[in-house]
Amino acid sequence: MKHTGIIVPLITPFKNNKIDYNSLEHFVKLLAREGISGLFTVSTTGEGPLLNRQEKQEITRRVLEIKGTIKVYAGTASASINETVDLAREYIDIGVDTVIVVEPYYYPLDQESLYYYFDEVLSNIDNEVILYTIPSHTGNPLQPTMLTRLAEEHSNLVGVKVTTSDIKRIQQFIQAAGEATRSIDVLVGSHDLLLQSLQLGAAGGILGIANIMPRPAIDLYNAYIDNQVSQALEKQGILLHASPSLYKGFTCVLKQVLSMKQIIISPETRLYCPYTATTMAERLLETHRQHII
């Protein structure tokens, strides 16, 4: 299975600190109509580390029930090997094809310890796995050379999501994936670098901004595939112009926008949101309303 196009790391709607499944269902159906390639549950944008195990399972099960033909990816969001493996197996049992495994966090690890973590996880999961490197959040950066090493040893490793503001690091992962003896897809997490990454050989993007602006991201990807350079540049410009309103309190701003648009009932999060989140959401709606779902 190829992992390409624009995948949305779903926000998790809450109401009174409980999962708002009605809003989740409405939102998933809306994104499906926009033409996204995949949905990623229990992501960073979806506040994965702040969800309990039962919530992670139930969110993913509900999305699987209403997804239609869209691929569903489920995140483990755990620093524990046992928890990661157990949760991944539970996802697979309910129908998830591809699990996304983030770098372990909190405790600092050297590269051999990090290798041990991923080696154990990959050895104990039968289905497809995409690794997820986001050093700004985990403090334990996966190195590109390790991706190649793990890919050679584990046939179920099919890709890596790279979230960074450093295009050189993305390029290194694309090169490392190309050095493996089988196909490894690189998916980028920064919408600012989507077009550059595609030009370097990335397969697509897992973009938080696509929760509110899926169409510009999808159009950019399609324009690139069709070799429509000027159109792709235009869509990249739209995403870049929206970035300043998302720098602080990313998930908080997304939820404020979706709530203001009455797509979800409440902007509630389990994060500590900056007091400017509402102002930034208002600014996004004022400047980019035509591009927001």
Q: Which residue has the tokens 């300043």?
A: 244
Q: Please state the domain count of the chain.
A: 1
> What average pLDDT does the segment 158-174 reach?
98
Q: Has residue 126 been placed in a domain?
A: yes
β-strand pairing of 157-162 with 5-9? unpaired
β-strand pairing of 38-41 with 71-75? parallel
Q: Which amino acid does the sequence have at 152?
A: E
pLDDT tens string 247-293: 789 999 999 999 999 999 999 999 999 999 999 999 999 999 999 99
Question: 18 has which bridge partners?
Answer: 15
Distance from C-alpha of 185 to C-alpha of 201, rounded to nearest angstrom: 9
CATH number, domain of 105, equals: 3.20.20.70
Q: Residue 1: pLDDT above 80?
A: no
User: For 228, how many CA atoms within 13 A lie in the half-sphere containing its CB?
Assistant: 11
Q: Has residue 46 been placed in a domain?
A: yes
DSSP codes, 75-90: E---S-HHHHHHHHHH
User: For 235, how many CA atoms within 13 A lie in the half-sphere containing its CB?
Assistant: 23
Number of Cβ atoms within 10 Å of the Cβ of 17: 7
- The pTM for the full model equals 0.97
Q: Has residue 106 been placed in a domain?
A: yes
Residues whose CB falls within 8 Å of the CB of residue 7, separated by 6 or more in sequence, listed in order? 36, 37, 38, 39, 40, 71, 73, 187, 204, 205, 206, 207, 210
Distance from C-alpha of 235 to C-alpha of 216, rounded to nearest angstrom: 5
Q: Has residue 80 been placed in a domain?
A: yes
Instruction: Provide the residue range defining the domain that includes 189.
Output: 5-228
pLDDT tens string 208-259: 999 999 999 999 999 999 999 999 999 999 999 999 888 789 999 999 999 9
